[in-house]
Amino acid sequence: MSDIIQLLPDHVANQIAAGEVVQRPSSVVKELLENAIDAGATSIKLIVKDSGRTLVQVIDNGKGMSVTDARLCFERHATSKIQKAEDLFNLQTKGFRGEALASIAAIAHVELKTKQETEELGTLIKIEGSAVTSQESVSASTGTSLSVKNLFYNIPARRNFLKSNTVETRHIVNEFQRVSLAHPSIAFSFHHNDSEIYVLPKGNLRQRIVSILGKKTNEKLVPISEATDVVEITGFVAKPEFAKKKRGEQFFFVNDRFIKNAYLNHAVTSAFEGLISNGHFPTYFLFLNVPAKSIDINIHPTKTEIKFDDEKTLYAILRSTIKHSLGQYNVAPVLDFNRDAQLDTPYNFKNKTAPSTPKVSVNPDFNPFKAETTSKPYTPKPFKKEEANWDSLYTGLDVEKIEVEAEPVLNQLFTEEKTVNKTYQIHSKYIVSSIKSGIVYIHQNLAHQRILYEEFLENITVKDAMSQQLLFPLEINFSATDIDLIKEIKEDLESVGFLFDTITNETIVIKGIPVNITESQTTIIIEQLLDDIKNDIPDTSFSQLDIMAKSLAKSLAIKTGTKLDAKEQEEIVNNLFLTKQPDLSPFGKKTFVTVNIDEIDKRFNN
């Protein structure tokens, strides 16, 4: 029998490795930015075109590479970060696997230009699908410029799995924010399709957070600082009143590396217990500095998951640190056993004694229920006929001919019309109504979503939406990326009923809102809309309007737990069955369930 096991060619092995390392354009951004940081760069520039499909370029002013290193860095498992297995447990750098550049070069067109400070000329290398097409000496500035073009050009199936440009851009922005937050001492800039998204000068962590999320963020931050033998914790948390309904602004860094850890996230959330309402999440930017030997960062290819030596201790320290800081800055209520100077005795009264207790005299013979003999009984004033001559009103009338329609005397003065409810509400969640074939159970939230969705869609596509003018324009702050997205969908928002006064790099001013929302709901609705667009929206204009109608319907629909009177229940039932597709919500969930008489009979016959 012939042998069937064989070694894979290098280019195939690199493509397989790329499946782990390079999942989307944001993965390339992460690897190239981390390489630039490891190279000692103080200024890093990111250039992206078509959400990374066409180009991802990172330019840094780091130490650069020699001719040999420039060629060798694209070989698999070639790295300058580690030399032996023990080095994996004492890592001080970002990249160390030696797979990133080899994997990227296997699925894209790569162009590397690099020069060391001591060299007069730099090196230019071009690679297509792991194959080096050219290498030459060129004039270049100190540092490295690496361009990744036409990502997944030789793997069409992987390219087809990429999401819309909006979604892919959101992932790239997330990676850029994570890396730039972890290194505020490095200057970063980000350009997308020839438009400037971020220009971040070097500074401290607070300045970097404000530069990314806007100037209004500064007043929301509460500093966190604690140093123990196990961990050193620094960073910021946002005040409880600024908690949001999404988890977007939650950042954990361990030794300046962004990580995801549900266990530590729970520690932060528990520290805010009782301070934020249900469904809201705290914002935080927390840096944990632990000994390199106490963590293992080599358990996942993307290195966003870390294994800790003692997670329970970290949990307790992190939770108590945040609680202490919230109390220290008078954000959370605390018990203060220190002396309050305002309660001290003034100097003028220091030597004075307390006055004697006043005496109270009581008449033991007083009886409030005993009638007083001295009081005179009340005698009503006699009625004088001349004061009101009622007989004159009936002069000339034949009393016998007057007929009065008498009504039967009832036990109550007013009779209420007896009404029979056609609908009933169960647990403030479901509406029950009888139909010819049995009973129908309607989910009030999902049913109202369907009703509002079709109303919004009709207003957007057919009718002119009605707006209500605000007495005072409403100013809302957003990040730079959210402002760009608002500019893209501005016309669609106006078709719904929003009217904008001005839009700047950090704020929008709204002077009119749709008639069926309130001013207090505006910020929540727009934030939810932006979040839905970032995650779900395809690239067609109609789908953009559709997702907008869905998002508005979801935000404004009657929530579970809302009590409805009989009229409101009937209105939902009637309006639901007037829609084009009453059986499904805008997101494909059932709005009602019917139970016929036969099913009910079976329950009693068993």
Same domain, 71 and 151: yes
Cα dist from 501 to 6, 215, 294, 474, whole Å: 67, 20, 54, 9
The residue behind tokens 């500019």 is 487
Residue 37 lies in a domain: yes
Residue 368 lies in a domain: no
Same domain, 447 and 561: yes
Cβ contact 110:35 at 8 Å: no
Token readout for 378 is 């009340």
Q: What integer is the mean pLDDT of 31-37?
A: 91
353 by Cβ neighbours in 10 Å (0-12 / 13-18 / 19+) ranks as exposed
278 by Cβ neighbours in 10 Å (0-12 / 13-18 / 19+) ranks as exposed
Cα–chain-centroid distance for residue 230?
32
- What is the predicted pLDDT for the residue at 287? 94
Write out pLDDT tens, residues 137-184: 999 999 999 999 999 888 888 888 888 888 888 899 999 999 999 999
Residue 370 lies in a domain: no
Q: Which three-class secondary structure state does DSSP give residue 381?
A: coil
pLDDT at 296 > cutoff 90: no
Same domain, 188 and 270: no
Positive or negative: CA dihedral 331, 334, 340, 343: positive
Q: Name the CA radius of gyration of the chain, rounded.
A: 37
Could you tell me the CATH number of the domain that includes residue 48?
3.30.565.10
Q: What integer is the mean pLDDT of 561-583?
A: 88
| Last residue within a domain, chosen from 296, 328, 360 | 328
Phi, psi of 444 (to 5 degrees): -65, -35
Residue type, 455: E
pLDDT at 286 > cutoff 60: yes
Q: What integer is the mean pLDDT of 422-440?
A: 86
pLDDT at 488 > cutoff 60: yes
Q: What integer is the mean pLDDT of 297-316?
A: 76
Residue 409 lies in a domain: no
- Please tell me the number of Cα atoms within 13 Å of 596 on its side-chain side: 2
- Mean residue pLDDT of the chain comes to 80
Write out pLDDT tens, residues 490-536: 887 887 788 888 888 888 999 988 877 788 888 888 888 887 777 65
Partnered with residue 312 across adjacent β-strands are none
| Last residue within a domain, chosen from 272, 304, 328 | 328
| C-alpha distance across the termini of the chain, in Å | 65
Q: Which three-class secondary structure state does DSSP give residue 289?
A: strand
pLDDT at 96 > cutoff 60: no
Residues whose CB is less than 8 angstroms from the CB of residue 165 and which lie 6 or more positions away in sequence, other chains included: 50, 51, 53, 539
- What is the predicted pLDDT for the residue at 109? 94
Q: How confident is the model at residue 446 (pLDDT cuts 50, 70, 90)?
A: very high
Residue 143's nearest CA partner among 79, 202, 57 is 57
Name the residue with higher pLDDT: 118 or 392: 118
Residue 145's nearest CA partner among 289, 47, 38 is 47
Q: Could you give the percent of the chain with pLDDT greater than 70?
A: 78
Could you tell me the CATH number of the domain that includes residue 242?
3.30.230.10
Q: How many residues does the chain have?
A: 606
Q: How confident is the model at residue 55 (pLDDT cuts 50, 70, 90)?
A: very high
Q: What integer is the mean pLDDT of 72-76?
A: 83
Q: Hey, which of 162-171, 364-373, 402-411 has the most confident mean pLDDT?
A: 162-171
- What is the predicted pLDDT for the residue at 103? 85
- What is the predicted pLDDT for the residue at 596? 87
Strand (E) or helix (H) holding 270? helix 262-271
pLDDT at 354 > cutoff 60: yes
Token readout for 563 is 């009590």
pLDDT at 295 > cutoff 70: yes
Q: How confident is the model at residue 391 (pLDDT cuts 50, 70, 90)?
A: low
- What is the predicted pLDDT for the residue at 53? 92
Residue 486 lies in a domain: yes
Q: How confident is the model at residue 317 (pLDDT cuts 50, 70, 90)?
A: very high
Name the residue with higher pLDDT: 41 or 280: 41
Q: How confident is the model at residue 310 (pLDDT cuts 50, 70, 90)?
A: confident
Residue 110 lies in a domain: yes
Same domain, 51 and 143: yes
Same domain, 175 and 79: yes
Same domain, 54 and 183: yes
Token readout for 245 is 């309904």
Q: How far apart are CA 456 and CA 496, in angstroms?
A: 7
Same domain, 496 and 539: yes
Write out pLDDT tens, residues 188-218: 999 998 888 899 999 999 999 999 988 888 8
Name the residue with higher pLDDT: 422 or 71: 71
Residue 475 lies in a domain: yes
Same domain, 320 and 443: no
Q: How far apart are CA 10 and CA 472, in angstroms?
A: 66
Q: What integer is the mean pLDDT of 575-592?
A: 88
Same domain, 307 and 453: no
193: left (phi over 0), alpha (psi -120 to 50) or beta: left
Q: How confident is the model at residue 347 (pLDDT cuts 50, 70, 90)?
A: low
Q: Which three-class secondary structure state does DSSP give residue 128?
A: strand
Q: What integer is the mean pLDDT of 389-399?
A: 57
Same domain, 126 and 219: no
What is the count of structural domains for the chain? 3
Cα dist from 391 to 184, 395, 401, 402, whole Å: 100, 7, 18, 16
Name the residue with higher pLDDT: 528 or 226: 226
Residue 262 lies in a domain: yes
pLDDT at 544 > cutoff 70: no
| Last residue within a domain, chosen from 176, 200, 224 | 200
Q: How far apart are CA 239 and CA 592, in angstroms?
A: 41
Q: What integer is the mean pLDDT of 329-336?
A: 59
- What is the predicted pLDDT for the residue at 377? 58
Could you tell me the CATH number of the domain that includes residue 518?
3.30.1370.100
533 by Cβ neighbours in 10 Å (0-12 / 13-18 / 19+) ranks as buried
- What is the predicted pLDDT for the residue at 539? 46
Q: How far apart are CA 524 and CA 522, in angstroms?
A: 6
The beta strand positions in 33-121, using DSSP E, are: 43-49, 55-60, 109-115
Same domain, 189 and 298: no
Residue range of the domain that includes 194:
10-200
Same domain, 120 and 240: no
Name the residue with higher pLDDT: 42 or 418: 42
Cα dist from 492 to 516, 542, 546, whole Å: 17, 10, 10
Q: How confident is the model at residue 344 (pLDDT cuts 50, 70, 90)?
A: low
pLDDT at 227 > cutoff 80: yes
Write out pLDDT tens, residues 111-133: 999 999 999 999 999 999 888 89
> Buried b vs exposed e over 360-388: b needs ≥16 C-beta within 10 Å?
eeeeeeeeeeeeeeeeeeeeeeeeeeeee
Name the residue with higher pLDDT: 463 or 175: 175
Residue type, 120: E
